[in-house]
Amino acid sequence: MKRKVVLCLAALAVIVGAAALGVTGWMVFQPGPYAFATGKPVPLSAYQGPAPTGVPVELAGADPAMRGAYVAAMADCQACHTAPGGKPFAGGRAFVLPFGTIYTPNLTPDPETGIGNWTDAQFLNAVHRGVAPDGSHYYPAFPYPSYTMLSDEDVLAIKAHLFSLLPVKQANRPNTFGFPYNQRWLMAIWSALFNPDERFRPVPEQSPEWNRGAYLVEAAGHCGECHTPRNLMQALDQRAKFGGATAEGWTAYNISADKVSGIGDWSAEELAAYLSTGHAHGRGVASGPMGEAVELSLSQLTKADIGAIVTYLKSVPAVKGDLPALAGPAPATPQLAGLDNPVGKRIFEGNCASCHAWTGAGAAREEAQLTGVRAVNDPGGANVALMVLHGSGAPTPHRPHMPGFGNAYSNDEIAAVTNYVTARFGARSSTLTAADIAALREAN
């Protein structure tokens, strides 16, 4: 009898162990970021085509300072390493994560508080392997599993650009992680599992444009860090590549080829316009973290580089999402009685209609169009609520600015107007409450 129990327990332990191993293995052994592409990747040195790394051909003859600035813009270091209203690259921007708050460090060449004393080898080790000069490990909030694909030359071009900046004396703020997340040594294990520590490998069977796009999207632009969901161990789940995720409260939408939830029905021109200017006709305006990515990175890239990004994005296989199909234009004479949301209606009338128009088609400015925009057609409603709270800066010059209403209205009112807008102009109403808005205020 006793032996039977022991045997059963042992069998159970084996099964549980195997299952745990299986789950871990499933998370660890997953396809690379562009394993979907037909062809056999080769080392950069063995690639015969035009270099997918570095600056584009037009800038090949430019002075090193300009080339360094371009590569730094490609990698969009500035967005995260600048606090709101702070000095560029001096760090201090807070990221509120489920484990605590983490603050980005100072990247200016100040010897005491910045990276002024770092050697080239130390900088490469940080960007490729996530290891600080003192041997401690960074958290993957720093997207080194993407940056590890950057060529040595490009990483050092970024370093040269950073070292050309004026030093800013600003001490780094420690993060507020509690146990066990404050155990940095655990990141060594995480890194061993999830950082391949391998430079970009071009795929000769794909076009030079595709390879350049893959480098810009995967290595430098690290788009997946926001747009790809994470698994239990916080690594990007490449099986659901570009299937959409959340960043600082904002929904980073599905950017796979799915026609409904993703960008499958966007034309190449629409994608290029959205990426380079922050707006495409009828597609809305890049706001929140995407607005920053456009302002500080994508709008700085050449037309050819934007074209390469579009070529690559269009090749990413569809990941099915659960977003509804976009609703068409809203009726000119809306059935207001059918929208039982007097608070939302009152706020929309008084604050929104003058720019967005009664039909949501936008009054005179095409950027103000609400109908057909993914965020408005998302029953989650987070991005609409965040736009109402914080407004939307103009990602590029001559683009309109939306003021934020976060200080003017209560959480109840902002939830009401968000639910009104999604119901009236979108596919399905959001059902946000004051508590949801409070959480969004916290996350941002």
Partner 1 sequence: MSAISVNGRTYEINAAPDTPLLWVLRDELGLTGTKFGCGVAQCGVCTVHVDGIAVRSCQIPVGTVGQRVITTIEGIGETSAGARIQKAWLDLEVVQCGYCQPGQIMSAAALLTANPDPDDGAIDAAMSGNLCRCGTYVRIRQGIKHAARS
Residues in the chain, total: 444
Closest separation in Å from C-beta 24 to partner 1 = 54
Q: Of the candidates 327, 333, 336, 352, which has an alpha carbon nearest to the alpha carbon of residue 417?
A: 352
Minimum CB distance to partner 1 smaller for 45 or for 407: 407
What is the rounded distance in angstroms from the CA atom of residue 188 to the CA atom of residue 12?
A: 31
Rounded to 5°, angle at Cα 214 from 209 and 215: 100
Closest separation in Å from C-beta 430 to partner 1 = 21
Minimum CB distance to partner 1 smaller for 44 or for 355: 355
For tokens 């939302």, name the residue: 344
Contact status, residue 115 vs residue 121, Cβ threshold 8 Å = no
Minimum CB distance to partner 1 smaller for 121 or for 364: 364
Residues that bind partner 1 (CB under 8 A): 332-334, 336-337, 349-351, 353-355, 357-358, 363-365, 397-398, 400, 403
For tokens 């037009």, name the residue: 58
Closest separation in Å from C-beta 401 to partner 1 = 9
105: preceding bond cis by omega (within 30 degrees): no
Minimum CB distance to partner 1 smaller for 9 or for 408: 408
Handedness of CA 66, 67, 68, 71 (dihedral sign): positive
Closest separation in Å from C-beta 353 to partner 1 = 5
Minimum CB distance to partner 1 smaller for 205 or for 349: 349
Q: How many helices (H) and strands (E) does the chain have?
A: 17, 6
Minimum CB distance to partner 1 smaller for 204 or for 362: 362
Closest separation in Å from C-beta 306 to partner 1 = 23
Minimum CB distance to partner 1 smaller for 83 or for 339: 339
Which whole-number Å values give the CA distances from 353 to 61, 368, 420, in the listed order? 50, 10, 12
String of b and e for 220-253 (b: at least 16 CB within 10 Å)?
bbbbbbbbbbbbeeebbbbebbbbbbeebbbbbb
Closest separation in Å from C-beta 370 to partner 1 = 15
Closest separation in Å from C-beta 408 to partner 1 = 10
Which whole-number Å values give the CA distances from 87 to 3, 334, 436, in the listed order? 69, 47, 32
Minimum CB distance to partner 1 smaller for 137 or for 356: 356
Closest separation in Å from C-beta 423 to partner 1 = 15
DSSP letter, residue 45: G
